[in-house]
């Protein structure tokens, strides 16, 4: 039936064009953003899951930075420990040398002077070694906790037990090599100090190994989480490009069809 008051064909085409325009807008948004889900209305469940995965992934990345900072702390402390070991070993050599009565008084005085300088330097190491304002060997911070995971559990933290070089200084006390008796006594004292430092180094080594392992696990986990998030939230460009082309063609076809539908009324005029 041909009518003048309404144009059902044009109305139907207009409705189809409005729907296609909405779809075209969505395709353009997905193609331009690279994401399949841009708002909750697109897919609320997927958006929630991807947000959780993204938070975990970013948390792990930050935790890996923390682990690297922890490794840097250990390296700084280990440098001080290594220097302390070198000085203690030199002090032990001086003590052994001075324990012999074959050493003349002048040489013994030189040995005593070097021994005291080394002892003072160990003290300097104990009070001056620091990282980012944290003193590492004076026992002011015996343990440093490093957050290496994305959650708040004991498994997400690694404690670094620092070597107490101040305690080593106290162990050395007034050790000297000024006499054969003092030198002989100093040997045992230095051996105790060496044992303390070596024990502290082994603890640091174990923490270093744990931090390296946490970095490896964190990298693997963060990569897996990022991949999972991508599978959920990212747009498939092959699919979206095809859909975009389809909607563009439909839009052009709709405009042409609407133009034809408007010509229907003109044929009515020819009948009058």
Q: Measuring CA to CA, how many Å separate 271 from each of 4, 189, 265, 266?
A: 12, 122, 10, 9
What are the structural domain ranges in the chain? 8-34+235-271, 44-233
CA distance 246 to 239: 11
Pairwise pLDDT comparison (209 vs 48), residue with the higher score: 209
Q: Which of 30-39, 167-176, 211-220 has the lowest mean pLDDT?
A: 30-39
CA distance 236 to 144: 46
The top-level CATH class assigned to 44-233 is: mainly alpha
CA distance 22 to 191: 81
- Please provide the DSSP assignment of 209-237 as one string: HHHHHHHHHHHHHHHHHHHHHHHHHB--H
Residues in the chain: 272
Q: What is the pLDDT of residues 22-79, one digit of tens each?
A: 777 777 777 777 787 777 777 788 888 888 888 899 999 999 999 999 999 999 999 9
Q: What is the pLDDT of residues 254-272, one digit of tens each?
A: 777 767 766 666 665 565 6
Q: What is the pLDDT of residues 96-114, one digit of tens each?
A: 999 998 888 899 999 999 9
What pLDDT is stored for residue 268 in this prediction? 58
What pLDDT is stored for residue 40 in this prediction? 78
What pLDDT is stored for residue 157 in this prediction? 94
Assess contact for 80 and 129: CB atoms under 8 A: yes
Assess contact for 182 and 176: CB atoms under 8 A: yes
Residue 253 reports pLDDT greater than 60: yes
- The pTM for the full model equals 0.75
Q: What is the pLDDT of residues 240-252, one digit of tens each?
A: 777 778 877 877 7
What pLDDT is stored for residue 37 in this prediction? 79
What pLDDT is stored for residue 1 in this prediction? 56
Q: What is the pLDDT of residues 140-149, one digit of tens each?
A: 889 999 999 9
Backbone angles phi, psi at 201, to 5 degrees: -65, -40
* DSSP H/E element including 143: strand 143-147
CA distance 180 to 196: 25
Mean per-residue pLDDT over the chain, rounded: 86
Question: What is the pLDDT confidence band of residue 2, given thresholds at 50, 70 and 90?
Answer: low
Q: Measuring CA to CA, how many Å separate 83 from each of 87, 158, 188, 245?
A: 6, 26, 20, 70
């Amino acid at each position: 039936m041909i009518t003048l008051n309404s144009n059902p064909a044009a109305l139907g085409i207009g409705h189809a064009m409005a729907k296609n325009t909405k779809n075209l807008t969505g395709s353009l948004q997905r193609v331009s953003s690279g994401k399949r889900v841009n708002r909750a209305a697109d897919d609320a469940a997927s958006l929630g899951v991807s947000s959780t995965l993204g938070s975990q992934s970013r948390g792990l990345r930050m935790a890996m930075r923390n682990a690297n900072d922890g490794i840097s702390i250990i390296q700084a402390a280990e440098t001080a420990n290594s220097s302390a070991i070198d000085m203690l070993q030199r002090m032990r050599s001086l003590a052994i040398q001075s324990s012999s009565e074959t050493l003349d008084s002048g040489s013994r005085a030189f040995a005593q002077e070097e021994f005291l300088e080394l002892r003072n330097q160990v003290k300097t190491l104990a009070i001056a070694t620091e990282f980012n304002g944290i003193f590492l060997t004076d026992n002011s911070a015996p343990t440093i906790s490093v957050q290496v995971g994305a959650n708040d559990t004991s498994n997400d933290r690694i404690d670094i037990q620092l070597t107490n070089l101040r305690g080593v200084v106290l162990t050395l006390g007034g050790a000297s090599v000024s006499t054969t008796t003092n030198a002989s006594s100093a040997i045992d004292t230095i051996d105790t100090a060496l044992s303390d430092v070596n024990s502290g180094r082994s603890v640091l080594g174990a923490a270093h190994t744990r931090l390296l392992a946490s970095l490896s696990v964190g990298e693997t986990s963060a990569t897996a989480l990022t991949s999972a998030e991508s599978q959920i939230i990212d747009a498939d460009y092959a699919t979206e490009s095809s859909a975009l082309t389809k909607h563009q063609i439909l839009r052009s076809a709709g405009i042409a069809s609407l133009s034809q539908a408007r010509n229907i009324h003109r044929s009515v005029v020819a009948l009058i």
